[in-house]
């Protein structure tokens, strides 16, 4: 490919240039600052002038009494979210794909897509109102049956379930769009042949639709696994309080508190923790991708 080819399709290359510049400026350039994880960063000396500290900050984190609690909370919330949220978009897409009533189908799509566009601040505000022990809708309904009231947000054991299932409710409709698009691309002749052979809808889902969407599902699973430790910092921080901190404190919120909120802000220590999280996520991505290749499934590379 030479300059002649580039000049021919310059519009496409221009479109490609914009996201490329975004990735370089906002993803690769900031990597220069990651070196402060290995330094005793001093604001007055800058990144280049600060003294090297080796693995001191990593060792400090690994030996801290917070390490296992933070890692355990982060992994449990991440696995819980992945297991709970992964199948529902597929099931919703399969159901909508076979819905015969167009009005019903559009209504379900609108109802399930709408929560995705609610901001996290508003969503957490709604959760706090619904789960309020005195005036919340949930406790009011439970009170009709002589149950409760419960202070859900004050119970550490409830936090992860509230976080995960509210995440499922907010994202299930939007996440199923890609599966609906994949289902629409399946050859209709396969379904016609299956109907002629006497296959019912469940059999068609099992033998045509699920194999058809499996490559996309595996790719999304690999990508989601790579973001396993990205637990949704903003939402967790908004839902946190001193009573549920035992199960709600994760690596992201801890980094924020150590690096920005603490009176003795320690940028190097916070960066080391963030870098550790990124490396673990990258390793998980490689492992799951390699596993998918060995199982003869789709993979990223």
User: 222: which 2 tokens?
Assistant: 């690999």
Spatial distance between the Cα atoms of 239 and 256, rounded to a whole number of angstroms: 15
Spatial distance between the Cα atoms of 65 and 71, rounded to a whole number of angstroms: 11
Output the DSSP codes for 70-101.
Answer: HHHHHHHHHHHHHHHHSHHHHHHHHHHHH---
Q: Which residue has better confidence, 5 or 199?
A: 199
| pTM of the shown model | 0.83
Q: Which residue has better confidence, 42 or 300?
A: 42
Does a cis peptide bond (omega within 30 degrees of 0) precede residue 149? yes
- pLDDT tens column, 38-97: 988 888 888 888 888 888 889 999 998 889 999 889 989 988 988 888 889 999 988 888
- pLDDT tens column, 116-144: 988 889 999 988 898 888 888 888 888 88
For the chain, the distance separating the N- and C-terminal CA atoms, rounded to the nearest angstrom, is 23
Over range 153-180, report the average pLDDT. Answer: 89
CB atoms within 10 A of CB 273: 26
Residue 300: predicted pLDDT: 67
Rg (CA), the chain: 24
Sign of CA dihedral 94, 98, 99, 102: positive
Helix 67-85 vs helix 156-175: crossing angle, to nearest 10: 40
CA distances 164 to 100, 111, 285, 295, Å, are 31, 19, 22, 29
| Alpha helices (runs of H) in 50-187, residue ranges in sequence order | 56-63, 67-85, 87-98, 102-113, 120-130, 137-144, 156-175, 177-184
Spatial neighbors of 54 by CB under 8 A, at least 6 apart, are 38
Q: Which of 1-10, 81-90, 170-179 has the lowest mean pLDDT?
A: 1-10
**Residues for the chain: how many in total?**
301
Residue 196: predicted pLDDT: 87
Spatial distance between the Cα atoms of 90 and 88, rounded to a whole number of angstroms: 5
Q: Please list the residues that pair with 52 across neighbouring strands.
A: 39
Q: What is the DSSP letter of 118?
A: S
């Amino acid at each position: 490919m030479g300059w002649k080819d580039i000049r021919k399709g310059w519009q496409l290359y221009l479109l490609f240039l914009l996201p490329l510049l975004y990735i370089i400026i906002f993803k690769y350039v900031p990597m220069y600052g990651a070196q402060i994880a290995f330094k005793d960063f001093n604001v007055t000396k800058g990144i280049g002038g600060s003294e090297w500290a080796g693995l001191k900050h990593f060792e400090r984190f690994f030996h801290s009494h917070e390490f296992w609690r933070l890692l355990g909370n982060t992994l449990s919330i991440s696995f819980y979210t992945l297991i709970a949220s992964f199948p529902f978009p597929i099931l919703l897409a399969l159901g909508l794909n076979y819905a015969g009533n167009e009005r019903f189908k559009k209504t379900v799509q609108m109802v399930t897509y709408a929560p995705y566009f609610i901001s996290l601040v508003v969503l957490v505000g709604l959760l706090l109102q619904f789960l309020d022990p005195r005036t919340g809708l949930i406790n009011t309904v439970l009170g009709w049956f002589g149950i409760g009231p419960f202070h859900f947000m004050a119970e550490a054991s409830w936090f992860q379930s509230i976080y995960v299932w509210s995440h499922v409710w907010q994202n299930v409709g939007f996440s199923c769009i890609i599966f609906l698009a994949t289902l629409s691309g399946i050859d209709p002749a396969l379904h016609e042949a299956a109907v002629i052979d006497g296959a019912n809808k469940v059999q068609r889902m099992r033998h045509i639709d699920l194999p058809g969407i499996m490559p996309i599902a595996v790719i999304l699973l690999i990508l989601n696994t790579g973001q396993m430790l990205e637990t949704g910092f903003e939402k967790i921080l908004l839902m946190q309080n001193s009573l549920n901190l035992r199960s709600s404190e994760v690596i992201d919120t801890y980094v924020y508190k150590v690096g920005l909120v603490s009176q003795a802000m320690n940028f190097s220590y916070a960066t080391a923790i963030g870098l550790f999280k990124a490396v673990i996520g990258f390793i998980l991505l490689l492992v799951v991708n390699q596993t998918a290749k060995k199982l003869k499934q789709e993979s990223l590379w």
